[in-house]
Structure 1
Amino acid sequence: MMLKQSSKKNLFINGKWQEAGDYYQLTSPYNGKFLASVPLANKREVEDALASAEIGAMKMKELTSLERSNVLERVSKLFEERSEEAAEILALECAKPIKAARAEIARTIETYKFASEEAKRIHGETIPMDAAKSGKGRFAYTIREPLGVIAAITPFNFPFNLVAHKLGPAFAAGNSIVLKPANQTPLSTLFTAELFEQAGLPDGALNVVTGRGSVIGDQLVRDPRVKMVTFTGSVEVGLGIKEKAGLKKITLELGSNSAVIIDGTDDLDAVVDRCVEGAYAFSGQVCISVQRIYVQEELYETFVERFAEKVKQLVIGDPLSEGTDLSAMINETEAERVERWIEEAAESGANITLGGKRIGAIFEPTIITGASSTLSISCKEAFAPVVTITPYDFLKDVVTCVNDSQYGLQAGVYTTSIHKAFDAIAALQVGGVMVNDVPTFRVDHMPYGGVKNSGTGREGIKYSIEEMTELKLVTIKF
């Protein structure tokens, strides 16, 4: 397969494709081949995008709910028509195996469909004013209004669907966007902009600026025209955004070291299959990837044995190959970091039960047993194809282990006891509990977000729309 688009890309500002003053060379994480020359936006070009977005926000506010819904519906259909092309872009720019890339595009289509539907459901409520003594003779209601200009900063790991989670609800609510994608995955975002252009989105409603986060990110976060910043990425960058954003609204999705508890099951093989999928999909570069597995003592040895057998069957290779399960990590630097963490674990006495080796940017699927909870591979976010597996005796104690983390995005609990399920639900300090499934489960209309250092705010189209609108109260005296 060949990338069908031009190798030189442009910025998308005010509905036009604009050349930049400088460019960088984008290469494949898998084989280092040149993919495209991508713009390095400067401060003037970001200023152009912000000025365009300010006018675009006024245009979006004037559209009816139906008109906004129709644009999103057309984008969803355009993604269906060009789904294989989009999946190929993912395989090339971020080394996502083609079958996983197709799954992301399917979710992207659904996300824009959800946004199209939710555009028609944005409403307020009536307030019973006469419930207060001084409210007699008054009628009141609330309405939701768009914020205006929103800055969106997106990561490399789901560059179509996580962009959809920013753009879909923003446009459904009548906002405009200035979007800064990850440096390794600009092609997917520029492709998305092309589809919105074809779908009839008003000029200025979407502006895409690619380049250095230190230049673009700071300018977007500090600009007073920006009313909200929505960011998915690292804790360090998220904290910086929070410090610089002032009184702007902020949604931060900052990752996790997600855990699954296996307390009891009627089908251990099915649990093993799901845990392998949750741990190694896209080489573990998923915010809710399974990183820590806690297994009831009686099941532990059997689980580890079957889990390792399943992992050995995973195919490492070219992301464009139909049979590939894992490919390169996003870059060699990340693979080297994980290699250091594995060496630290081995030196501390942990067992590298399977894998643990790196070849360039490719890291073998790895299983670690006997790992201390203080090791980097346990307490930090690995974002890599690595899991620790640990036995436990009592559910109460293992919930404490899961909670002993700076993160709290999602957790999974497998149990045959409804009482234990509800005990775990009440005690786990996370944004979402998946009972009888892995924490990697997500569908795109559910509320999604975490506690502690996993971030603030919620995504999921309906819930993002609430974040991306202001509530206005109206009272009428009669």
Structure 2
Amino acid sequence: MTSTAAAPTAFWLAGRPATGADSFDVTSPWDGAPVGRVSVPDPGQVEEAVAAAAGARRALGATPAHVRAGVLDHVSRRLAERAEEVARLITAENGKPLKWSRGEVGRAVSVFRWAAEEARRFNGGQAQRLDTDPGGTGRLALTRRFGRGPVLGIAPFNFPLNLVAHKVAPAIAAGVPIVLKPAPATPLSALLLGELLAEADAAGGGEGPALPASWSVLPVPNDRMPALVQDPRLPVISFTGSDTVGHQIADSVPRKHVTLELGGNAAAVVLADYASEQDLDWAASRIATFANYQGGQSCISVQRVIADAAVYDALAEKVVEKVRAQVTGDPRDEATDVGPLISRAAAERVEEWVRDAVDKGAKVLTGGTREGAAYAPTVLADLPADAILAGAEAFGPVLSLHRVNGPDEAFAAVNDSRFGLQAGVFTHDLQLAFRAHRELEVGGVVIGDAPSYRADQMPYGGVKDSGSGREGVKFAMDDYTYERVLVLTGLDL
């Protein structure tokens, strides 16, 4: 869609602003109001960006750590200084309540700070004596990490700043060029991040940019993504999004290094020992909050509550009460907890899936209604196994309650899913905590809290249809690089 109302926001081509002949409008999911207009790069500009990334590979890899760390420190500092402006931009284009947008900005500040620290200590090298056998006498191995090549980062709409940060910051820290494709629904946050990177380039590079033409932010439509995926000059792909698209990408480029952060249907397990009034209040509060934050549009939002029969009834009552207390409405309102989904079509899909569940026997304990792009926070009981919501990722403010008997049934229920991202286990029993860590087929187990907890420096990712590879700054840097060994000969060790 092309508009003539205002000059479009430029994209970032090899570290500089650029515009193309076409543009599209970004509108608010809440009320459809215009938020901005974004210029779209033409095929020639995309080619220039990819060629620049490939050409900058060696120069960026040789850039001193303090220079790359300085760029990352600058971005972290400027995000903090402009935090309220950036949060309001996220709310405008994404529709998430302002309180959650502020949290997202704070997390992105931390991601760039962590990346600056990792840039300073990454790749120090590991020495290994080889004279442990006679043939290695006088030899020493030194192992360091080097970039696999430029990264194609593909980011989703639900965290339009922080999940972009998780692509860009590790690449800069590791000295690896990156071409970033933001989600078409929410490109403005990524373009603002490009502005801060350009500031750092200009401020810290002396006679030239600090990061030699090594990064681009290209808001191309999704139908142009396959060409980028197939480009041999982009040997690493970091994708966050749906499992369907992620697996299609991986299958289409079997010789590339592809990391996938995909979906989930995260479970919160409440075991029998978590039975006091205080315990159940805490569990219900965390479940209600994190089933509905971001409108449920988080791959680790609570979708399934698996409760021991000893606590099920009391917990269910509290969960319903606290879900009903979630404040819905205008995401710009300071009091709002739950805003709209990303689009009316997304809300209609959730509505259809809830209707499917009810038609097959599920009971709606609260919610179950839609207004435009907003879907009411919803709790289901007696969800049948053949309902769509039993196996799919809701990606909306819907949770289901399940009664089990003992930890064996609880852990089996968690694992009875094609997804395996994170799980939360409410228990005070340390043995059960370690057992959960051992037995649950997920990428992360959170004890005493909802599965939605994530610290941005920790390894984050899943198994099964939830993906492969790990985010978290250092762990993404490992995915972007590979080990190369140097053998030194003739040494007097």
Band the TM-score falls in, shorter-chain normalisation: over 0.9
Aligned to 1:422: 434
Structure 1 runs of 4+ with >6 Å offset: none
Deviation at residue 329 of structure 1 after TM alignment: 0.2
The Cα shift of 1:190 comes to 0.3
Do residues 262 (structure 1) and 270 (structure 2) align? yes
- 2:152 is matched with which residue? 151
| Aligned counterpart for 2:255 among listed residues 228, 232, 247 | 247
Alignment of 1:450-461 (within 5 A): 450-461=462-473
Q: State the partner residue of 2:310.
A: 298
Return the match for 1:469 from 481, 488, 493. Answer: 481
Q: List aligned pairs for 1:165-204, cutoff 5 A.
A: 165-200=166-201, 201-204=210-213
CA distance in 1, matches of 2:431, 2:313: 25
- Residue 209 of structure 1 pairs with residue 218 of structure 2: yes
Structure 2 letter corresponding to 1:275:
I
Unaligned 5+ segments in structure 1 are 1-5
Deviation per residue, 1:229-258 (Å, 9 max, x gap):
000001111111112223221110011000
**C-alpha offsets along residues 303-361 of structure 1, whole Å, 9 cap, x if unaligned?**
11111111111111111110111111000111111111111111111101100101110
Distance 1:203 1:11 in 2: 17
2:206: which partner in 1?
none
After superposition, residues 45-84 of structure 1 pair within 5 angstroms as: 45-84=45-84
The equivalent of 1:413 in structure 2 is 425
How far 1:147 sits from its partner (Å)? Answer: 2.6
**1:323 pairs with 2:332:** no
Residue identity opposite 1:72 in structure 2:
L
* TM superposition shift of 1:89: 0.6
Equivalent residue letter for 1:245: V
Opposite residue 68 of structure 2, the aligned amino acid is: R
2:365 to 353, 363, 367: 353
User: Using the alignment, how far apart are the partners of 1:348 and 1:448 within structure 2?
Assistant: 35
Say how many residue pairs are matched.
Answer: 472
Which residue matches 1:26?
26
More divergent stretch after superposition (445-454 vs 44-53): 44-53
Asked if structure 1 preserves the Cα contact closer than 8 Å seen for 2:60 and 2:212, the reply is: no
Is the Cα contact below 8 Å between 2:357 and 2:387 reproduced in 1? yes
1:262–1:172: structure 2 CA closer, same or farther, 3 Å change rule? same
Q: Deviations over 1:174-213 (max 9, x none)?
A: 0111000001110000000000001124252220111212
Instruction: Measure the CA separation in 1 of the matches of 2:134 and 2:247.
Output: 45
State the Cα distance separating 1:39 from its structure 2 match: 2.5
Equivalent-residue separation in structure 2 for 1:388 and 1:39 (angstroms): 42
Cα-to-partner distance string for 1:364-401 (whole Å, 9 max, x where unaligned): 00000011233211210000000001111121112111
Distance 2:133 2:345 in 1: 62
C-alpha distance in structure 1 between counterparts of 2:211 and 2:488, whole Å: 35
Distance across 1 between alignment mates of 2:347 and 2:311:
32
Contact 1:58 1:148 in 2 (8 A): no
- Give 3-state SS (helix, strand or coil) of 2:41's partner: coil
Equivalent position of 1:37 in the other structure: 37
Q: Is the 8 A contact 1:7 1:36 kept in 2?
A: no
Structure 1 residues 43-69: Cα deviation after superposition (integer angstroms, max 9, x where no partner):
222111101212333332221111111
1:357-436 equivalence runs, <5 A:
357-436=369-448
1:418-457 CA-to-partner distances (Å, cap 9, x unmatched) read 2222222211101111111111000000000100010010
CA contact (8 A) 1:156 1:185 kept: yes
Relative to structure 2, which stretch is displaced further, 81-90 or 370-379?
Answer: 370-379
8 Å Cα contact 2:242/2:262 also seen in 1: yes
Distance 1:429 1:31 in 2: 40
**Do the aligned partners of 1:39 and 1:211 also contact (CA within 8 Å) in 2?**
no
Contact (CA 8 Å) 2:307, 2:410: kept in 1 or not? no
Q: Equivalent residue for 2:165? A: 164
Please report the RMSD computed on the Cα atoms of aligned residues, expressed in angstroms: 1.3
Residues 289 and 323 in structure 2, CA contact (< 8 A), matched pair in contact too:
no
Q: How does 1:228-243 map to 2 (within 5 A)?
A: 228-243=236-251
Residues 227 and 249, structure 1, Cα contact 8 Å, conserved in 2: yes
Per the alignment, in what secondary structure is the counterpart of residue 191 of structure 1?
A: helix
In structure 2, the partner of 1:3 is: none
Tell me the amino acid that sits aligned with residue 243 of structure 2.
V
Q: Which residue of 1 aligns with 2:205?
A: none
Aligned to 1:100: 100
Residue type matched to 2:133 in 1?
A
Q: Supply the distance in 1 between the matched residues of 2:453 and 2:287 (Cα, whole angstroms).
A: 11
> Aligned partner of 1:209: which letter?
L
Give yes or no for contact 1:43–1:219 (8 Å, CA) kept in 2: no
Q: Distance between the aligned counterparts of 2:168 and 2:463, measured in 1?
A: 24
- Return the TM-score normalized by structure 2: 0.94
Q: Secondary structure at the match of 1:119?
A: helix
Task: Please give the secondary structure, in 1, of the residue aligned with 2:121.
Answer: coil
> Residue type matched to 2:420 in 1?
G
Distance 2:15 2:440 in 1: 46
- Whether the 8 Å CA contact 1:414–1:437 is kept in 2: the answer is yes
The residue identity in structure 2 corresponding to 1:57 is: R
Which secondary structure state, in structure 2, belongs to the residue aligned with residue 130 of structure 1? coil
AA aligned to 1:332 is: R
Deviation (angstroms), 1:417: 1.6
Counterparts of 1:202 and 1:339, CA distance in 2: 47
Which letter maps to 1:176? P
For residues 102 and 181 of structure 2, the distance between their equivalents in structure 1, rounded to whole angstroms, comes to: 23
What TM-score does the superposition give when structure 1 sets the normalisation length?
0.96
- 2:326 alignment partner in structure 1: 314
Q: Distance in 1 between matches of 2:328 and 2:122?
A: 45
State the one-letter code of the partner of 2:145.
Answer: R
Q: How far did 1:7 drift?
A: 5.6
- Secondary structure, aligned partner of 1:247: coil
Q: What letter matches 2:22 in structure 1?
A: D
> CA contact under 8 A between 2:306 and 2:413: conserved in structure 1?
no
Q: Which residue of structure 2 aligns with residue 15 of structure 1?
A: 15
- Which residue number corresponds to residue 88 of structure 1? 88
Inter-partner Cα distance in structure 2 for 1:7 and 1:100: 30
